[in-house]
Structure 1
Amino acid sequence: MITKKYKWVVAAMFITSIALSCKKNVLDVKPTNFVSDVAVFEDITLTSQFLTNVYSSLLSGFERKDWGFDQDWSAGFALLDMATDDIEGHNDLPLNKVQAGDLNSSFSLGTEMWRNNYILIRKANTLIGRIDGVPTTDTNLKTRIKAEARFLRAFAYSELIRAFGGVPLILNEQLITDDLLVPRNTYEECVNFITKECDEAAADLPFEYPAADLGRATKGAALALKARVLLYYASPLNNPSNDVTRWTNAANAAKAVMDIKDQGYYNLHPDYYQLFFTKAGNKEVIFAKKFARPGRTHQTAWMLHMSIQNPDVIGGAWGAFHATQNLVDAYEMKNGKLISDPTSGYDPQNPYKDRDSRFDKSLIHNGSVFKGVTVETFEGGNANKSTNGDRTKTGYGLRKFIDERFLTADDVYRGGDNDWIYMRYAEVLLNYAESRNEAAGPDGTVFSAINELRRRSDQPALSGLGQVEMRERIRNERRVELSFEEHRFYDVRRWKLGMTYFNVPVKKMKIVKNANSTLTYTVENYENRVYKENFNLLPIPQMEIERNPELVPNPN
């Protein structure tokens, strides 16, 4: 029988590359790269390396393993937004079961989220608990390392609570002699802890780092995380009584990050496509997971890459990404009007003309020039041949995140090294606009924030809208601006609009090339989707419930 204490230890065990606790066996054989945990916290250089290892535990959208958290080969196949109305995934993805309404405690991405974040939390707890005893005269470095670890722990908890609601707050390095069956804290208790940690970490973190240290937690990252957590706390899912104070607090927190811009630290990158590839000098990025060729790459460029049957561009990629017509319809016309507006000038038989520039910088469609090739998504075209198992299923492919410099299959297969951006300044502007609009209506600061973002894409400024109208435009702006960055998965849930957006058919664009070479465009239903109200939070993974029965009650 597994003991009470052993169950939680199994759930929380981790191994790091630089710190491994073990007892001598009879042969007293150690691997050549062995460094004891005692040695790690007797040398500030090794302690700094331990912190780097904590960063490496961050789970990014480029690394999710839809076939199971232990199936490394599948990393890069799945974005959470594939379970939304924005994307259709590869035919064989287990994530497709969620689209069909089968979301249960065996959901592999949920298990991976739980496991990876608690691995990070355990490492951070070890570092936070021992850093004060590390001998060094560089007290500023020790203070910063501790603040970074506190931020990373808070970030991991923020990821957990937006997925699962209240979770166990484990704040100390656990020993086998401890009571390891830890019950769930309330969502509010978790929010209070995270925001307090963000405030205190921010006080000890710098605004920026030298180029060699890009990717470390900054003061702005801590404040931006606080703003995001407070926005979720104010949202309908977690604020059923619509306590306006929560919206005001969220707006104030976002404004604190916007004020940093005035000191020269944050701004929007001038090019929407390039912002996801530009590393040095990119003032829009607030916090990201770093990748770099050749040692640290991701397979998104291969797994999600559109397969085009052309000798000059990659064919045979997995082609696991297919944007829906539902999303395409959300992109405005260049004149700022939605295509549903009869005065917008939208032509259903020339549907890609005069659209928001973010459309062409995010998606590939019929007529797009991609890696020097004109893409054909019409029936029989080079991206829609009947013999190609990975042909486009909806008429669209992914451009955002896909580096067009990598032309050959071999180059793409080596992996992408663009960073996964967790938080960027555009999100801060959207967070402010939403929370301020909910707190006080669309005052001048709301219009200023949303229009600052729209200017980058040359979209006309919004004006003269009431609170309800502005709410809808902000939500649409989030959908378009933050597409595929795993916000849609959570946004619709926190707005409690899953039955509106996720419980309807997703659509595709069917294009037929006529005998006279003209094209006929027809929007068709691709598949029905199923969503249930209890899907607003993910179920606790079954394997964790079996290890710790205290997880079952929801204290919220």
Structure 2
Amino acid sequence: MKNTAFYIVALLAVLASCTGDLNQVPISSATTSTFYSQPNDFLQASNAIYSDLRGYPDRQLNLSETRSDNLYAVSDGGVRDWEGINSFQKSIAGNVYVSEAWSTNFNGIYRANVLLDQLQKNGKLITDVSLKTRLEAEAKFLRAFFYFDLVRFFGKVPIIDHPVTANEALSIPRSPVKDVYTLILSDLTFAATNLPETYAAADKGRATRYAAKAALALVYMTRSGPTYDIEGPGLGLNEWSQALTVLNEIIASGKYSFLTSFTNIFSFTNENNAEVIFDVQYANGLTPVVGGTFPWVLVPDTWFQSNGKATQGGLTIRPVSVDLLNAYATADTRKAFTIQSGYTYNGVAETRSFVKKYVDLTKVPTNNRLDWPINFIVYRYTDILMLKAECILRGATGGTQADVDAIVNQVRVRAGLPAITNVTLSQLLQERRKEFVGEGSRWHDLVRSGQIETIMTAWIAAEDTQKQMQPFQKNYIIYPVPQAELDTKPGLYTQNAGY
């Protein structure tokens, strides 16, 4: 749980007012000159950028987890927004989850651009040179973070690296993915060099240089994924060795370690543990509310009611796929913690399963479903280790099959499973699936792996018992440009193929 003052500032800062996605209008010069008058103003501006991370976990659950073969999210309680995501419907350009991904990320980019602009113009007000450099590095990390999220979901997006007026924004087209990556890599390289390794307790949760390195490694790996002949996140590059180098730097730092208990990674009483490299931080009981909502996103309301708790907002069940359930061995201790296998409500048995990874029934907010106090881990040490194994299997120099086996078996033993040898890429992908289910990584893993067409096609054929899903097409690897963006200035953007 984050320091209270950090969150109050983050949501009440002058710069925290919403801005339109295309309407990248800078704060008026009068307001800017009034606001940026002392070092603390720049800190508030930095906090305002972090505040745009609040919905990041929900987005990954809605657009990555629900899109993947982890869930068969066909609703039996009315039409739900997630059904079009799960079923590969072509008419989702107006979907609220798709629109949120575009607008919130660009809002964060806008705020980062304003801070970077003001650091350049008024940075002399900050006499602490190290603080000024750190704020620049934080802003660049977050700008890269938001842009990477956009690239993975939409492919081409407009590059806006400075504050622009509304009219200027209306003339900025989408740029090729490779050009967006150029900005991302530049920002992350600066951040990885200039961010501190750690922070004092009051600033816990800010990006460190190892958070930047984790993001940098994942960018290298994502760029190295196949293109699928679409303008998506993969460029078919062979940057597995570059990624491995960065991952090894995180491991060699000694700042993080592998917890022996899987459940303790996600404990409400063990936040900021040794596994956590970067997370989205929440605090409860504050005004305005700055808690999380992601714990209940994949959880049906009737389950909370069956346990004597108030409804939270997850509505009807988004069932875990039979394929995922069958992937767990009987002895795998991760399954019971991650997945609720049925329950009874008002005397009626619900036999389907759902993801409950972030729910502790003793911690359910009593007054506000928007106020869960658990942090969402974006990058954790187990992920770094398994990404290292993936790079080695992809041919990165500096690793061996023995290294891969050791990493995977460390994860398996923690889960109560026997060791295996000669781990393949497909086995690693399956092990990642069981380890990170509910963390929003599955869709991105499938895309990066090059196996998404084969896996999703076979999965739909076996899983779609209600015949609700469209046949998988490679165009569905990315989402459509939100219809609101197309309508803002007709002709500025071209809709992604397949929608």
TM-score when normalising by structure 2: 0.82
Aligned with 1:361 (options 323, 337, 341): 337
Cα distance in 2, alignment partners of residues 83 and 403 from structure 1: 25
Matched, 1:149 2:139: yes
Match runs of 1:155-174 below 5 Å:
155-174=145-164
Question: Counterparts of 1:312 and 1:183 in 2: how far apart (Å)?
Answer: 51
2 CA distance for matches of 1:80 and 1:175?
33
Report the CA distance between 1:507 and its aligned residue: 7.5
Q: Give the partner amino acid of 2:421.
A: S
Q: Is the 8 A contact 2:171 2:492 kept in 1?
A: yes
Q: Which residue of 2 aligns with 1:93?
A: 80
Offset of 1:486 from its aligned partner? 1.3
Q: State the AA in 1 paired with 2:22.
A: A
Aligned to 1:188: 178
CA deviations over 1:520-541 (Å, ceiling 9, x no partner): xxxx946553222210111212
1:443 Cα offset (Å):
2.2
Whole-Å separation in 2 of the counterparts to 1:158 and 1:213: 24
**Residue 107 of structure 1: CA displacement?**
3.2
Distance 2:247 2:304 in 1: 46
TM superposition shift of 1:189: 2.0
Matched, 1:248 2:205: no
Contact persistence 1:223–1:253 (CA under 8 A): yes
1:442-494 Cα shifts (integer Å, max 9, x gaps): 522222332333332233233134xxxx1111110111111111111222233
Map 1:468-547; keep pairs closer than 5 Å: 470-503=424-457, 504-505=459-460, 525=465, 528-530=468-470, 531-547=472-488
* Cα distance between partner residues in 2 of 1:545 and 1:159: 20
Aligned partner of 1:284: which letter? Answer: E
Which residue, 38, 41, 49 being the options, matches 1:46? Answer: 41
1:182 and 1:278 mapped to 2: Cα distance?
A: 46
Identify unmatched segments of 5+ residues in structure 1: 1-8, 24-35, 65-75, 334-353, 367-376, 509-523
1:347 matched to which residue of 2?
Answer: none
Relative to structure 1, the CA distance from residue 194 to residue 534 in structure 2 (aligned partners, 3 Å threshold; closer, same or farther) is same
Give the paired residue count.
458
CA contact (8 A) 1:430 1:478 kept: yes
Q: Does 1:298 align with 2:274?
A: no
SS of the equivalent of 1:364 reads strand
The correspondence for 1:108, drawn from 96, 101, 104, is: 96
Q: Which residue of 2 aligns with 1:214?
A: 204
Aligned mate of 1:400, from 357, 373, 377 = 357
Give the alignment's TM-score, normalised by structure 1: 0.74
Asked if 2 retains the 8 angstrom alpha-carbon contact of 1:506 and 1:527, the reply is: no
Inter-partner Cα distance in structure 2 for 1:209 and 1:96: 42
User: Following the alignment from structure 2 to structure 1, what is the Cα–Cα distance between the partners of residues 346 and 227?
Assistant: 41
Q: CA deviation at 1:311?
A: 6.9
Inter-partner Cα distance in structure 2 for 1:124 and 1:493: 28
Larger helix share, 1 or 2: 2
Change (3 A) 1:238 1:287: farther
1:13-92 aligned within 5 A: 13=23, 21=28, 36-58=31-53, 60-64=55-59, 78=62, 80-89=64-73, 90=75, 91=77, 92=79
Give the secondary structure class of the aligned counterpart of 2:157. coil
Structure 1 equivalent of residue 7 of structure 2: none
Match among 326, 329, 337 for residue 326 of structure 2: 329
2:262–2:334 CA contact under 8 A, matched in 1? yes
Kept in 2, the 8 Å contact 1:224–1:254? The answer is: yes
Partner of 2:11: none
Distance 1:128 1:310, change over 3 A: closer
Could you tell me how far apart the structure 2 residues matched to 1:498 and 1:311 are?
Answer: 37
Equivalent position to 1:199, from 179, 189, 201 = 189
Would the alpha carbon gap of residues 316 and 540 (structure 1) be closer, same or farther in structure 2, given more than 3 Å must change?
A: closer
After superposition, what is the alpha-carbon deviation per residue over 1:150-207, rounded to whole angstroms, capped at 9, x for unaligned? Answer: 0000101110111111322211121357474112222222223212221111111111
Instruction: State how far apart, in whole Å, the 2-side matches of 1:545 and 1:414 are.
Output: 31
SS of equivalent residue, structure 1 residue 101 = coil
Task: Rate the CA distance shift 1:60–1:426 in 2: closer, same or farther, 3 A.
Answer: farther
Counterpart of 2:111?
123
The alpha-carbon deviation at position 281 of structure 1 amounts to 4.5
Match for 2:404 among 446, 464, 472? 446
- CA distance in 2 between counterparts of 1:79 and 1:320 reads 16
Please give the alpha-carbon distance, in whole angstroms, between the structure 2 residues aligned to 1:239 and 1:250: 23
Q: Map Cα deviations across residues 398-439 of structure 1 (whole Å, 9 max, x no partner).
A: 3311013236x8468463211122211222112111121011
Shift of 1:10: 5.3
Query: What is the Cα deviation at residue 220 of structure 1?
Result: 0.4
Whole-Å separation in 2 of the counterparts to 1:417 and 1:290:
8
Matched residue type, 1:551 = Y
| Counterpart position of 2:14 | none
Question: Once the two structures are superposed, what CA deviation does each residue of 1:50-81 show, in whole Å capped at 9, x if it has no partner?
Answer: 110111012535444xxxxxxxxxxx994641
Name the SS for the 1:445 alignment partner: helix
2:66 counterpart SS class: helix
Query: How big is the alpha-carbon RMSD for the aligned residues of Structure 1 and Structure 2?
Result: 3.3
Contact 2:332 2:417 in 1 (8 A): yes
Closer/same/farther in 2, CA of residues 290 and 309 from structure 1, 3 Å limit = closer
Cα distance in 2, alignment partners of residues 178 and 414 from structure 1: 36
SS in 2 for 1:288: strand
Shift of 1:551: 2.6
The answer to which of 155-164 and 542-551 deviates more is 542-551
Segments of structure 2 that go 5 or more residues without pairing to the other structure are 1-18
Larger Rg: 1
Q: 1:433·1:449 contact (CA, 8 Å) conserved in 2?
A: yes
